[in-house]
Structure 1
Amino acid sequence: MLLQPIAQVAAVAAALLAPLADAAAAHPASVFAFPKTGAANQHDIPSLRPAEARLVFAERLGVSRFHKLGYQGQDMKVLELDRFSGEHTGLWKDKSENVVVIVSGVSNTKDVFVESRPAFFIADTPDADSFSTLANGFIKEAQQLIGDLGVRVFGSSEESFITVVPDMDLCVQGHQESISRSQCAAAADADLTKDFTHVFGEEFGAVFDADSSVDAAFMDEALAMNSFIEGFSQAVRSDNQLAVLFFNGLNSVMLKYGTDSMQYQVGSALFAKLLQKLALETSPSTPITAVLLPGGEKQQVSSKKAKRSLEARAFGDQHSSPALSVGILAEADSYTTQEECEIMTNYCSGGHGYCMEMYGQEGYFGCQCISTYDETTRQRTYWAGDYCQKYDVSVPFNIFFWGLILSLLFVGFMIKAMVSMGAEELPAVLAAATMVQTKA
């Protein structure tokens, strides 16, 4: 349990989280990586653009093949983050498991992990909805790589969620939305205030009102995160387990009550303790990426489709996956149902791909191209284009190009070896030998 007198909690929270909401919005998002990175001081911490940060996240999660920066020269800037990796741990090491946690509404991000420095900051920080879209995109990419579906084990009215890829025997006690598991069956009928007070203490339970939708969502998220932390290390996990946690309840508390309120100060201190508990109990066996967002007002966009486009563009639209080669934001080439996509594209040009939900646009479908094999000619053909109607010559070209380069290098090596052998002087015995004269 997280038991601590409310006076102490409020005092600590007030000292750490005093900035006002407008000041908080000016701060960039902070990204922490555990096991701890090796940044020496504040001046060593880089500030990345959103598109660059996306590439770092993708590399850490093992889905970098789906992403590119889209302009030359910036890859080296991101690769410089390797200096934080140390000898055994860091951003760019190959890990089989990953936990990503995104918390919106942290007004003073640098004081959550007091003894650790951020791996990097994100300049011009996108809003929480854009981070949610990005996280869901990573989940879909992970599903494609491992060939298994992700399972949403928790959700709240504030669009918060916990998703694991692939599924695992994990019980997350959620009161608003949770998957049906035998050990979690009683959670939906339990009393939220009673459970919250039981886990975090009477002092915390007295601050929040379960009859308020904002308070209830926050309480439910805190319980779910605590339940995840306690259950994750004990659960049976696969070799490529990915868990993505996104929490927006603290930001809603900030918007409703303000940063000077008791609800926000205590809530911020509580989430800071939960994040520290996650890092302490899960790392170093499992790498953790913690993204702390300053929070702010939610976007007001005229249509859901326009909102999805803005969210997808926030981190750049330079998606380069061969499997997701359709234009992500192409209005004319997206369809609202899978059936409509199949009819309008003639099943992606006669079986050159299949219709799937498009990256960054939930509820919209496009063609995912595949390769086909001709048994008669014994040749494999790769397809591209919005309807998978074009030959993708990139793979044959690369094979031909690099094969030619290797052949030229081999021929050059052989010529050099032959020339060097012919230039060697004969041994002294052979050089002094004379021809034997034959008798007439």
Structure 2
Amino acid sequence: MKFNQLISWSLLSTLVTSQSIFTTIYEVNPQNLDINSPIPNLNSKDSQIYFDNLVGKDTSHSKLSLELIDLVNDQIDDVSNIQKPKLIINLAGDVDLQSKEIKPIFQTSNSLKTYFKNFKYGHKKQLSNEIISFGEFQDDSIKEFFKYFNEKAQAIWSNFKSQNQKIIKTYNPTNDKLFINEISSLKHLQDYATSKSSVESKNQVYIVNFNSLLSIARKIGKNSQTYIHQQQSLENLLVNEMSKFYHIFIISNPSINQDISHLQKRAEQSPIFNLKNYGTKQACEIGTNNCNNHGQCTQLKEQWSCVCSPSFNKTTSKTTVWVGSDCNKKDVSVPANLFLWTTIALVLLIVGGIQLLASVGSDPLPGVLDAATLSTSKKNI
């Protein structure tokens, strides 16, 4: 009996393990997908052939399975996406994507982590800690665009938060530095796509290693509002904004044995969150948006930082003093101190007046007035 139970538990654990290590591949806005058809399960080789064919590698020598042939034919028929550069989100952790525009196209029982780690196609460019690009670039515009990414990241993240607070009414922004880094990288890539300087080939490929959702899930759980909001904001960014420029795939890797602690430490040490001094004047001007037009980048020793200047409003005849590392905050210390001390002075004056009146009322009357008061009271009697 015990032997049968042992076999049953071992089979059950094997089944659970085999189900939990499935890697799911999603496509954003697929054009030729039968929603009612079952999700095909490809082996490791077929999965790699799919992505090789997607980016334009020669796969004529490869033997294709029937499931893979159908998927490749869908690729060819997808006219709206075939001319777009490819964006592959290599997502750590198994996620349940909620957007109706994101559909699973196939699964594989083998991890694609090694495949994307060793991915080779054309020229490789490391754009940020999170984004690697591959392809035949016509110029170095994208490398130049990401040159000052660290200096711009704080402003990028601030804009992203404000946009999502308008879209998601109960949006709760995270303080997870890994998520801030990764989202800022994606937003900067979107800004590149919308810029006039972007020159991209349809076979160009971007691989984004996105690990922060797994980090947040492990720290506070998948049911937390923060995790739900961050996943929703990522989906909104990919579906509503970036899919206009990129043919997007999301690789949901199983979370078993994925160690990302070193990535979290690297994110916390990133200069994005402690950048107040810059190595060059240009970096200072880009990172602070020219000190928000309230000062100038000035060299102090070997570093450059903002020296703020007061501004005068001719309409209101008021002078505003600016402070902060990028001169974006009004200095309210003077009016605040004036209001505080004025309030304290008024309170002391009122308390002193009340005490003075009380003391005057308790003093004895002079003799003549006291006698007059007594005589009047006798008459009344």
TM-score (norm 1): 0.45
Go from structure 1 to structure 2 and tell me whether the alpha carbon gap of 1:204 and 1:222 turns closer, same or farther (over 3 Å shift): farther
Q: Give how far 1:41 is off.
A: 2.8
In the TM superposition, what whole-angstrom CA distance separates every residue of 1:345-379 from its partner, at most 9, and x where no partner exists?
xxxxxxxxxxxxxxxxxxxxxxxxxxxxxxxxxxx
| Correspondence for 1:119 | 105
The answer as to 2:149 corresponding to 1:161 is no
- Decide whether the 8 Å contact of 2:133 with 2:204 is kept in 1: no
Deviation at residue 86 of structure 1 after TM alignment: 7.0
Report what 1:36 is aligned to.
30
Structural mapping, 1:171-190, within 5 Å: 179-181=146-148, 184=149, 186-187=151-152, 190=154
Q: 1:281 to 1:56 in 2, by over 3 A?
A: same
What amino acid sits opposite 2:251 in the alignment? V
Residue 310 of structure 2 aligns with which residue? none
Call closer, same or farther: CA 1:164–1:278 in 2, change over 3 Å: farther
Q: How is 1:357-436 mapped onto 2 (pairs within 5 angstroms)?
A: none
Which whole-Å deviations, capped at 9, do the CAs of 1:260-309 have from their partners, x for residues lacking one? 22221121111111221345422xxx533332335344169xxxxxxxxx
Match of 2:40 among 23, 42, 46: 46
Choose the corresponding residue for 1:197, options 151, 161, 166: 161
Residues 84 and 119, structure 1, Cα contact 8 Å, conserved in 2: no
**CA distance in 2 between partners of 1:198 and 1:171 (Å):** 27
Which SS does the other structure have where 1:266 is aligned?
Answer: helix
Does the CA contact (< 8 Å) of 1:170 and 1:232 recur in 2?
A: no
The structure-2 alpha-carbon separation of the partners of 1:96 and 1:85, relative to structure 1 and needing over 3 Å to count, comes to closer
Question: Could you say what secondary structure the match of 2:116 adopts?
Answer: helix
Provide the residue aligned with 1:290 in structure 2: 250
Match of residue 208 from structure 1: 174
* 2:240 alignment partner AA: K
Separation in structure 2 between the aligned mates of residue 28 and residue 248 of structure 1, nearest angstrom: 17
- Cα deviations across residues 173-217 of structure 1 (Å, max 9, x unaligned)? 9xxxxx424xx47326x47874553454497885422xxxxx111
In structure 2, what residue type is equivalent to 1:290?
I
Indicate yes or no: 2:244 matched with 1:281: yes
Secondary structure at 2:104 match in 1 = coil
The answer for the alignment partner of 1:267 in structure 2 is 230
Task: For 1:218 and 1:258, locate their aligned partners in 2 and report how far apart those are by CA, in whole Å.
Answer: 15
Change (3 A) 1:278 1:64: farther
SS at match of 1:37: coil
Is the Cα–Cα contact under 8 Å of residues 197 and 204 in structure 1 kept in the other structure? no
Secondary structure, aligned partner of 1:80: helix
Residues 1:85 and 1:162: Cα distance change in structure 2 (over 3 Å):
closer
Aligned residues of 1:161 and 1:247 also touching (Cα < 8 A): no
Amino acid at match of 2:92: S
Matches within 5 A, 1:220-235: 220-234=181-195, 235=197
Question: Which residue does 1:252 correspond to in 2?
Answer: 215
Distance 1:57 1:106, change over 3 A: same
Q: Cα RMSD (Å) of the superposition?
A: 3.9
Larger Rg: 2
Deviation of the 1:90 alpha carbon: 8.3
- Given the superposition, is the C-alpha separation of residues 59 and 192 from structure 1 closer, same or farther in structure 2, using an over 3 Å criterion? closer
Gaps of 5+ in 2: 1-15, 261-381
Question: Aligned match of 1:137 in 101, 107, 118?
Answer: 118
Determine helix, strand or coil for the equivalent of 2:235: helix
Task: Report the counterpart of residue 387 of structure 1 in structure 2.
Answer: none
Q: Distance in 1 between matches of 2:54 and 2:155?
A: 39
Instruction: Tell me if the contact between 1:103 and 1:246 (Cα under 8 Å) persists in the aligned partners.
Output: yes
Q: Kindly provide the CA deviation profile for residues 206-229 of structure 1, in whole angstroms up to 9, marking residues without a partner as x.
A: 5422xxxxx111112112212212
Q: Which runs of 5+ in 1 are unaligned?
A: 1-21, 144-148, 174-178, 210-214, 301-440
Quick check: 1:26 aligned with 2:20?
yes
- In structure 2, what is the Cα distance between the partners aligned to 1:136 and 1:27? 18
How many Å separate the matches in 2 of 1:34 and 1:279? 10
2:74 aligned residue: 84
Partners of 2:150 and 2:48 in 1: how far apart? Answer: 37
Q: 1:104 aligns with which of 63, 73, 92?
A: 92
Q: Deviations over 1:104-159 (max 9, x none)?
A: 235214x33x1453322x23242xxx52x422433x3x12xxxxx3221121xxxx
Deviation digits for residues 226-283 of structure 1 (CA, Å, limit 9, x no counterpart):
221232243422434322222111111112222122221121111111221345422x
Contact 1:100 1:289 in 2 (8 A): yes
Report the structure, 1 or 2, having the larger helix content.
2
- Counterparts in 2 of 1:298-309, with a 5 A limit? 298=258
Aligned residues: 239
Q: Is the 8 A contact 1:168 1:237 kept in 2?
A: no
- d(CA) in 2 for partners of 1:231 and 1:262? 31
Distance of 1:27 and 1:185 partners within structure 2: 35
Partner SS for 2:209: strand
User: How far does residue 78 in structure 1 lie from its aligned partner after superposition?
Assistant: 1.7
CA shift digits 1:413-435 (9 cap, x unpaired): xxxxxxxxxxxxxxxxxxxxxxx
Cα distance, 1:125–1:39 mapped onto 2, change above 3 Å:
same
